[in-house]
Structure 1
Amino acid sequence: MNIKIAFFSLARTTFFMPSAEENFKKSCDMLKGIFNNISIPEELLTSPEMLSEFADTLPQQDLIIYQCSTFVGGEFVTELTRRFNCPIVVWAVREPSIDGGRLKLNSLTGAFSAGNSIRMQGHQHEFVFGNPEEETVITKLRKIGSAVEMTKKLRNLVIGVIGSQPQGFGFGNIDEAKLSGTFGTRIVRTEAASIMNKASTYSNEEIAKALDELKSRTEGYDKMPEENLQKYARLRRSYEDFIEETGAGAVASRCWPDFFTGFGAPVCAVLSMLNDNGIAASCETDIGGVISMFIGAGFSGEATYFGDPVAVDEKCDSIVYWHCGAGASTLANDKEGSKLGVHPNRKIGPTMEFGLKSGGVTVLRLGKDRDGFRMFIFKGEALEEPQKFFGTSVTVRPEGGKAAEKIAEFVRDGWEPHFVVAYGDVTEEIKTMCSLLGIKVLKY
């Protein structure tokens, strides 16, 4: 993980030090196995002075792990909040025994003291309970680290916005000041016409790589008219140059009607290839949608899918998510593969044609409410179902079923009509990230 972490393990010597020392050693070994850039003291910190001496050796951190090896008072954590402007994990370990005898560590009470102090100072913190060898502790610390890393990535993210939202699709726009204030993310803009104008300037040699890429990742390439492939490749190269020039790590792009009427080609396959290559890319200029894709891809480690909730399939108690043909080719069902086709309404290609692969998924959406941002999440299963409509689609059964009831909740709660499907269960990472950013989460 590309984050700086400092581990502070605190103790008071009036408690049972053999257990505290053992937990400290095991914690150090475990943390070194998870994080590649972690600063660890040589011994337990048993006084505020020792804490200060260790803190003096450190630059600003991205995360502090504050372990109460025994009970310690709030003066320890207050020194850290005074020095460091980053989230803190408060970690309490278990009592060695509950046997009617001496309370040996009283770590949990120390965690309460720290949590209270941190909250009253207005700092962000998370809580972990358990011993360092416990898998739940290791997993939670790893997920917290991933969430912190994502907030750092969002602070450094540049979103390339191409064109504006189509009429009636204003839900995809975001106030840039609020975006920067919450995430640190910034936006660079260009017009669709600029992309098309640049696309017209390339030589055949300059677009050859784009053609080879599409051919290697899809089926049906040889059946596509040469003129359409050439136009695709020119747009693909123009998007690539825009990304390189601006440093964009994600793209929210205008699609219809501009590229059909102005260039005679869709951008669906272009966006597909961008997502394959690690650049989150949404259509219909949905900025909240592409941030959701960036988050989902970052946590899951693979491309995400961007789609409309177009149907409830009662036969399998599922929600069908669909879009015209911009799904990442890497998400295609292995049995069908990623096929090229034409846009279902405009009858121009190339677009993507396939049903998505099966597996556990997290459906998410960074949305807007009257009082700021909010996050939508639910866990589900992408089913082994065929392509439901022309374009690309995935059939998702929510955890616990009741798809029709879920859809009714989503509409009543006023969610935007674009959602993101990320493979794997990344709900805890998203919830932790939102907690750190002060974004409310609605988990269905």
Structure 2
Amino acid sequence: MNSKVAFFPLARTTFFMQSAEESFKKSSDMLKEIFHHISIPKELLTSTEMLSEFADTLPQQNLIIYQCSTFVGSEFVSELTRRFQCPIVVWSLREPSIDGGRLKLNSLTGAFSAANSIRMQGYHHEFVFGNPEEESVVSKLRQIGSAVEMMKKLRTLTIGIIGSQPPGFGFGELDEAKLAETFGTRLVRTEAASIMNKAASYSNEDIAKSTKELMARTEGYDKFPAENLQKYARLRTAYQAFIKETGAGAVASHCWPDFFTGFGAPVCAVLSMLNDNGIAASCETDIGGVLSMFIGAGFSEEATYLGDPVAVDEKCDSIVYWHCGAGASTLAKNKEGAKLGVHPNRKIGPTMEFGLKSGEVTVLRLGKDKDGFRMFIFKGEALEEPQKFFGTSVTIRPEGGKAAEKVAEFVKDGWEPHFVVAYGDVTEQIKIMCSFLDIKIWEY
């Protein structure tokens, strides 16, 4: 992890310093294994003067880890909130013994004192309880580090917007000012016509790389007319040029009807290849959707899937998520592979045609509410089920089942009709990030 992290181990010498010193050493060694750029003092900080001297050596940080090695009052954390504008972890150690004798550390009370002060000042924090050798502590700190890394990436993220939302799809638009204020993310826009004009200008030599990429990752390209594949390759090349020109790390793209009527080809397969290559890409110009894809891909370290919740399959107590054919080829079932097809409604290709692989998943969505952003999450399992509809689809059973009841909740709570499927359980990282960013979490 490349974030700048500072460790502040605080103690009062009136407590059992031997235990505090041992914890300081073990904590320092463990933190160095997690964070590549962590600043650690040479000794326990036992006064606000010592804290200030160490803080004077530091630039602004991405994360502060505030360990109550023993009890300390809120004057310590207040000095940190005055100096640094970043998330804080309040870490409490366990008592060395509970045996009717001396209270040796009183670390937990110190954590309460710090957390109360942080909250009353309007800042956000996470709490860690336990000793440095505990796996739960190591895991939580890794999750916090991952969340901080994501926040850092979002602050430098540029989302490329190609065209506008189709009629009736305004849910995909986000307020640029709120986006910049909350995440630091910026938008750069171009028209779909500009992409099509650029695509039409390329020579066959210019698009050869894009053609080879599609052939290497999919099956069935040999059954497509050369004209279709050429149009795909032209669009793929134009999208890559737009990304290079703008520095975009994610793309929210218009798709229907313009690319069908204006260029004679869908952009589904283009978006699939972008997702495969680490550029989150959504269709129907869904900005909230692509930001969710970027977050999910960053935490899961693989491509994510954007889908409509189109059906409840009572036979397997699951929700079917579907889209026309823009799923990342790397998410296809291993046995069947990523096949090419034609758009189910427009009958033009190439699009992706497969069912997604099985496995543990997190379904998420950064949504809009009346007073800002909110985050949807639930854990589930992508089942080894047959492909349910033409296009790309995945069948997901929510943790605990009751799929029909869950869907009723989602609709009643007014969620957007696009959701993101990330493989693996990344719920804790998302919740930590949202806590730091003051985004309301709706967990189902």
Q: TM-score if structure 2 supplies the norm length?
A: 0.99
| AA aligned opposite 1:382 | A
| AA aligned opposite 2:286 | D
* Distance (whole Å) between structure 2 residues aligned to residue 323 and residue 424 of structure 1: 21
Matched, 1:351 2:337: no
* Distance (whole Å) between structure 2 residues aligned to residue 80 and residue 201 of structure 1: 57
| AA aligned opposite 2:30 | M
**Counterpart in the other structure of 1:21:** 21
**Counterpart in the other structure of 1:45:** 45
**Counterpart in the other structure of 1:278:** 278
**Counterpart in the other structure of 1:440:** 440
**Counterpart in the other structure of 1:143:** 143
* Distance (whole Å) between structure 1 residues aligned to residue 24 and residue 251 of structure 2: 45
Q: Deviations over 1:101-158 (max 9, x none)?
A: 0000000000011111111111211110000000100000110111111111111110
| AA aligned opposite 1:394 | V
Alignment of 1:16-415 (within 5 A): 16-415=16-415
Secondary structure of 1:43's partner?
coil
Secondary structure of 1:311's partner?
strand
* Distance (whole Å) between structure 1 residues aligned to residue 102 and residue 361 of structure 2: 47
* Distance (whole Å) between structure 1 residues aligned to residue 78 and residue 371 of structure 2: 31
Q: Deviations over 1:268-315 (max 9, x none)?
A: 000000000000000000000000000000000000000000000000
* Distance (whole Å) between structure 2 residues aligned to residue 398 and residue 44 of structure 1: 46
Q: Deviations over 1:165-200 (max 9, x none)?
A: 000111111111111111111100000000000001
Deviates more, 1:88-97 or 1:179-188: 179-188
* Distance (whole Å) between structure 1 residues aligned to residue 379 and residue 288 of structure 2: 20
| AA aligned opposite 1:251 | V
Give, in angstroms, the shift of residue 422 of structure 1: 0.2
| AA aligned opposite 1:373 | F
| AA aligned opposite 2:91 | W
Secondary structure of 1:5's partner?
strand
Deviates more, 1:112-121 or 1:329-338: 112-121
| AA aligned opposite 1:22 | E
| AA aligned opposite 2:150 | M
Give, in angstroms, the shift of residue 68 of structure 1: 0.4
* Distance (whole Å) between structure 1 residues aligned to residue 73 and residue 409 of structure 2: 45
Q: TM-score if structure 1 supplies the norm length?
A: 0.99
Equivalent pairs, count? 444
Give, in angstroms, the shift of residue 163 of structure 1: 0.4
Q: Deviations over 1:295-345 (max 9, x none)?
A: 000000000000000000000000000000000000000011000010001
Secondary structure of 2:58's partner?
coil
Q: Deviations over 1:70-95 (max 9, x none)?
A: 00111111111111111110000000
Alignment RMSD: 0.6
| AA aligned opposite 1:372 | G
| AA aligned opposite 2:83 | R
Give, in angstroms, the shift of residue 399 of structure 1: 0.2
Give, in angstroms, the shift of residue 2 of structure 1: 2.1
| AA aligned opposite 1:200 | A
Secondary structure of 1:206's partner?
coil
Deviates more, 1:115-124 or 1:337-346: 115-124
Q: Deviations over 1:241-283 (max 9, x none)?
A: 0000001100000000000000000000000000000000000
| AA aligned opposite 2:149 | E
* Distance (whole Å) between structure 2 residues aligned to residue 132 and residue 200 of structure 1: 59
| AA aligned opposite 1:322 | W
Q: Which runs of 4+ in 1 moved over 3 A?
A: none
| AA aligned opposite 2:236 | R
* Distance (whole Å) between structure 1 residues aligned to residue 60 and residue 37 of structure 2: 13
Give, in angstroms, the shift of residue 229 of structure 1: 0.4
Secondary structure of 1:159's partner?
strand
Give, in angstroms, the shift of residue 224 of structure 1: 1.1
